[in-house]
Structure 1
Amino acid sequence: MTGAETSLRSKAVHGAAWSAMSSIILRLGSFAVGIVLARVLAPEQFGVYAVALTVQSILMTVADLGLSADLVRSKEPEKIAPTIATLGLVSGATTTAVTMAVSVPLASLLGSREAAPAIAVLSLTLVLGSISLVPYSILLRNFRQRALFLVGAVDFVISTSVTLVLVFAGFGVLGLALGRVAAQVVSSTMQFFLARVTPRYGLDRTRLRPILGFGLPIAAANLLAWGLMNIDNVILAHVAGTTALGFYVLAFNISGWPMNALSQSVRSISLPYFSRAGNGATALGVVVAVGWAGGLLAGGLLAALSGPLISVVYGDKWMPAAPVLAALGLFGAVRVVFDVFTGYLYASGNATSVLWIQILWLVGLVGSMVLVTPVYGIVGAAWVHLVIAVVVILPAYLVVLHRSGAHRREVLGRSVWPTAAAVPAIAVALLTRHLIEGSVAALLVGGFAAVGVFAVLVWPWARRQLALFREPGSGQDGTGVAATEPEPLAAMAPITVPEREADLGRVGHG
C-alpha cells in the first residue's frame, strides 16, 4: 500500500470520527434546546415554523445547484472555484430576492399565511449560505471535519442564544428565524478563515458547461429529495391543519436525531472517499453494513419506546406524536443506507440515476400521501414514508448500484447479521415497555437493555467490518484506494451548502 493510499484512508477514518463526534454533540445540544422550545411554544407554532423551514430548506438546495459536490470531486478544484463561486452567488441572491417578494402568497398557498414573515427572514440564509460554498467544499474535500465541528459548534451557540432570547421576549416563530440568520452570518465568515480562502470570482465559459452538466442533475435530485422530506408537511398543513402538523414535525425531528448524526458522518466522507477509492464498489458493502447497524438499532429503539420517550422529554401534551414516531424511527434507519448509496453514485458520476430515483420516489410518495392522509392523518403519512422507501426505492437503488458495478449480494449480505442482532434487542425494548408502567423507568431500562443485547451480538461482527475497511486495497475485502491525495487548495472563492435536515430552529451546513 503506497503512502498516498495510507494517507487517504487515514484521512477518511479520521474525518468520519470527527464528523460523528460533531453530529452527536450538536444533536445533543439541539435536543436540549428542542425540549425547551417544545415546552414554551404551542404545537401550532411548531407547525407554522415547519412551513417556513420547508420553503427555506427546498430553496437552499436550489441555490446550491450541485456546485459543492462538483468541487469536492474535481481533479482541478483551483481552476473551477471562481466559476463555482460566481454561479453560487448569483443563484443565492436571486432566490433570496424572489422568496422575499412572494413570501405572503407562498405562505398562503402552503396553508399557513402566518408563516410569511418567517419565510421572508429565512430567505436571507440563501444568499448568506451561497457566499461560503467554496470554503465549505474545501474543508469537506480535505476531510477537515474538526474545523467543520468548530463551525457547527459556534453556529449552534449563536443560533440557540439568539433564538431563546427572542422567543422568551415574545417574538415566537420569528425568533427562530432570526436566530438562524444570525448563526448563518457567523458560520459563513468562519469557513473563510478556517479554509484560508479569499473571495475570488470569475466565469470561465469553457468550464461552465461541464460544471452545470454535473451539478444540475444533483441539484434536481436534491430538490426532489427535499420534496420527498417536505411534501408531507405541505399536504398535512392543508388536510390536518398546523396543530396536527406540529405533532408530526416533532416526531419527524426526533426520528432524525440518530439518523442525521449517522448520515452526517457517512455523508461527510463518502463522496470524497468513494471518488478516490480504486475499488469503491467493494468498500460500499462495508460502509452500508456499518451505517445500517447503527441506524437500525437507533430507529428500532425510537419506534419501540416512542411513547415513554415523548412523555418524559416533551410532556403528555405531545403524546399524539408517539405513533407517528414509531413509523418514522424505522424510516430514519433506511435513510442512512440511502445516503451511502447516493454518495457512491455521485462519486461514480451517476448523478442522473439518483435524479430518476428521486423522481420515482416523489411520484410514489405524493400519490400515496394524497390517498392516505385524508383518512389516516399524520400516522398514515408516517407509514407511507416507510412503505414507499422499502417497497419501491430500495429495489430501485439496488438495480442502479448493480449497473454501476456494485455487488448487490455483498451489500445485502453484509447487513444480514446486524439485522438479525437488532430483532432481539428491539424485542427486549418492547417487552420492557409493556412490563414497566412508569415512563422514565421504561425508557431507561428498555433502552439500556436493548443496547446491551445488541452490543453483545454485534460486536464481533463490527470488529471484522472495521478491520476490512482498514485493510490494503489488494484483497477482495479491501477498499482499493488507488488515488493520490487532493491537491492543496490555496486562494479560492466563496459560498456554502445547506444541511439537508429539518431541525426546528437549526439549519446549518454539512
Structure 2
Amino acid sequence: MTPTPSSTLAEISAPSQASPARRLRQLVLRDTNIVVISVVLANLLRAFSSVVLTRLLVPEVFGIAGVIASIVFAFSMVSDLGFQAFVVRHPDGDKRRFLDTIWTMAVLRSAILTCAVFVLAPTIAGLFGKPELTSVIAISAFFFVIEGAASLTLLTALRHRKVLKLSLIEIAVLVLQISLSFILAYLWRSYWAILVSMLAGSAFKTLLSYVLFPNSLRKPALDSLYVRELWGFARFVTGSSIITLLLLQGDKFALGRLMSLDDFGFYILAGNLAAAPLAFTTAYASRVLFPTYSQAWRDGEENLRALFYAKRRLPSLFYCFAAGGLIGCAPLVIAVLYDPRYAASAIYLQILAIAPLFALASYSGNETLTATGHIKATFQASLAKLAWFCIAGPAGFALGGVLGLVLAVGLMEIPPVILKWIQMHRLKFLDLSQELLFLAAGGAGIVIGAVGDQLIHPLL
C-alpha cells in the first residue's frame, strides 16, 4: 500500500502496541539495526579472512590485490553516473521502460570500462612499475562487465527499503567469496586465488539479482527523455566522484613522499582503523535515510524536517558518542590491538578519527538534499573538500609539518558539513539544535574515552 502524506513520520513516532516478542522482532528488524548488524558481521568476516589468508599467501599477494582494488576503484569513480541515487529517487523508478533504459546504460558503461582496462593493462602496469602485472590487470577488467550485467532489482529493492534482503545478499556473497578464496589459496598459493574469488563473488551477486527478485529481466532500450535526465543528473555525480578520487588518494601520495616508510605505515594503519566507522555512515545514509527521504518527498510529506530528525536522532547520538570515544581512547585502542612498536599510530588515529565524527552529519545532509531534488549538493560538497585540502593542506604543513598536514585531512569533513547546514537552513530542513546535540554527544564520547584511556592504559 502506498503511504499517505505524513504516514512515514507516524511510523517512526507512533508507539507499538504489539506483544513483547513481536516488539523485540520489530526492533531487531528495523532498517537501522539491520545495517548495524550487517556491517559488524561483514567486518568480522573480513577480519577472519585476513587472518587465514595471511597464513596461506605471501605479503606480495596483498600488495597486488591492493593495486587491482585501486585500479577498479579509479575507473569506477571517473565513470560514475549515479545510477543508484537516480533510480531510487526518480518518480518513474518502477516503470519498465525507465528500468530498461537505465539497465542498458549500465551495460554500455560496463562494456566500455572493460574494454578500456583490458586494452590499457600494459600501460597501467607500466605506471605502477610492475609490467609483470599486465595479465592480472587485464583479467580484472571483467569486474565491470559482470557487475554491469546485474539486474536493477538491487536498486529498486533499495528504493522500496528492502534493507534486510539486500544485507543478506551482501553477507551471502561475502561468505562465498571468502570460502572460495580459502580453497584457491590453499591449492594455488598465488594472487590468482584472490582475483578469481573476487570475480566469482561479483558473478554470484549478479546471479542473485535475477534469481531472488520478481520481474528482474530487462531488455535493451534507450528512451531519449530518461537518457537526457540521467546525463543531467550524472554531470554532478561524476564530477563529485572524480574529486572524491583525488581526495582519497591525495593524502597518501603526499604523505608517502614526505614520510619515512615506517611513519607512513603507522599512518596507513591509523587510517584503516579510523575508516571503520564510515562503513556504518555510508550504509546507513544510502540504504536507510535516502530511500526514506525520497519516498517522503514523492509522497508530499508536509513536515520533512521533523521526519529527517526523527529518523536519524538515536543513531546519530549513539554514533557520535562512539566516534568521539574512538578519538579519546585512540592510544588505548592501539595498545590493545598491537605491540609497543605501533604506539606512534595513536596520534594519527586521534586526528583522523575527527572526520568520522562529522561524517554522519555530512552524509545525512547530502541525502536530505539529494532526495529532495537538490542534486548539486554532492558535487558542491566535494568542491568544498577539495578547496579545504588545497588550502589547509599546504598551510598545515607549513605550520606544523607532517602532523599539520594530517590535521588538515582529519578536519576535511567540517567544510562540507557547514555548507550543507547552510543549504538545509535555506530550505527550512535544518534543526541546528539537534545537530549541536549530536556533536555534544561526540564531545562526551571524547571525554569518556580519554578518561578510560588514562585509567586502563597504565594497567596494560
TM-score of the two chains, using structure 1 as the length reference? 0.74
CA contact (8 A) 2:290 2:368 kept: yes
Query: C-alpha separation between the residues in 2 aligned to 1:295 and 1:29?
Result: 22
Is the deviation greater in 272-281 or in 238-247?
A: 238-247
Q: What secondary structure sits across from 1:351 in the alignment?
A: coil
Query: C-alpha separation between the residues in 1 aligned to 2:55 and 2:349?
Result: 18
* CA RMSD in angstroms, aligned pairs only: 3.5
Query: C-alpha separation between the residues in 2 aligned to 1:384 and 1:50?
Result: 25
Task: Name the CA shift for 1:161/1:285 in 2 (closer, same or farther; >3 Å).
Answer: same
Is the deviation greater in 195-204 or in 214-223?
A: 214-223
Query: C-alpha separation between the residues in 2 aligned to 1:378 and 1:128?
Result: 42
Q: What secondary structure sits across from 1:406 in the alignment?
A: coil
Question: For residues 276-315 of structure 1, what are the structure 2 equivalents within 5 Å?
Answer: 276-277=295-296, 278=301, 279-287=303-311, 289-310=313-334, 312-313=336-337
Partner of 1:102: 120
Query: C-alpha separation between the residues in 2 aligned to 1:313 and 1:240?
Result: 23
2:411 corresponds to which of 374, 377, 387: 387
Deviation at 1:189, TM superposition (A): 1.1
Task: Name the CA shift for 1:73/1:286 in 2 (closer, same or farther; >3 Å).
Answer: same
1:359 corresponds to which of 383, 397, 415: 383
Query: C-alpha separation between the residues in 1 aligned to 2:219 and 2:338?
Result: 47
Deviation at 1:222, TM superposition (A): 3.1
Q: What secondary structure sits across from 1:229 in the alignment?
A: helix
**Residues 193-214 of structure 1: CA deviation (Å, up to 9, x unaligned):** 2222113221011221112212
1:344 corresponds to which of 356, 368, 375: 368
Partner of 1:268: 287
1:428 corresponds to which of 445, 451, 459: 451
CA contact (8 A) 2:320 2:438 kept: no
Partner of 2:144: 126
Partner of 1:208: 227
Q: What secondary structure sits across from 2:218 in the alignment?
A: coil
Question: For residues 436-451 of structure 1, what are the structure 2 equivalents within 5 Å?
Answer: 436=459, 438=460
Question: For residues 68-147 of structure 1, what are the structure 2 equivalents within 5 Å?
Answer: 68-77=84-93, 78=95, 79-109=97-127, 119-132=137-150, 134-147=152-165
1:327 corresponds to which of 351, 356, 360: 351
Equivalent residue letter for 1:229: L
Partner of 1:59: 75
Q: Gapped runs of 5+ residues in structure 2?
A: 13-25
Deviation at 1:24, TM superposition (A): 2.0
**Residues 108-150 of structure 1: CA deviation (Å, up to 9, x unaligned):** 5467767666544443222222222612101111111121122
Is the deviation greater in 397-406 or in 286-295?
A: 286-295
Equivalent residue letter for 1:105: T
Partner of 2:212: 194
Task: Name the CA shift for 1:244/1:231 in 2 (closer, same or farther; >3 Å).
Answer: same
Query: C-alpha separation between the residues in 2 aligned to 1:258 and 1:31?
Result: 15
Partner of 1:477: none
**Residues 292-338 of structure 1: CA deviation (Å, up to 9, x unaligned):** 32333333333344445345445566555443322222322222221
Q: Gapped runs of 5+ residues in structure 1?
A: 439-510
Task: Name the CA shift for 1:183/1:307 in 2 (closer, same or farther; >3 Å).
Answer: farther
Is the deviation greater in 188-197 or in 317-326?
A: 317-326
Partner of 1:397: 420
Partner of 1:467: none
1:251 corresponds to which of 270, 284, 306: 270
Q: What secondary structure sits across from 2:376 in the alignment?
A: helix
Partner of 2:23: none
Query: C-alpha separation between the residues in 2 aligned to 1:130 and 1:401?
Result: 34
Partner of 1:486: none
Query: C-alpha separation between the residues in 2 aligned to 1:93 and 1:361?
Result: 32
Partner of 2:15: none
CA contact (8 A) 1:221 1:358 kept: yes
TM-score of the two chains, using structure 2 as the length reference? 0.81
Deviation at 1:56, TM superposition (A): 1.5
Q: Size of the alignment, in residue pairs?
A: 435
CA contact (8 A) 1:259 1:295 kept: no
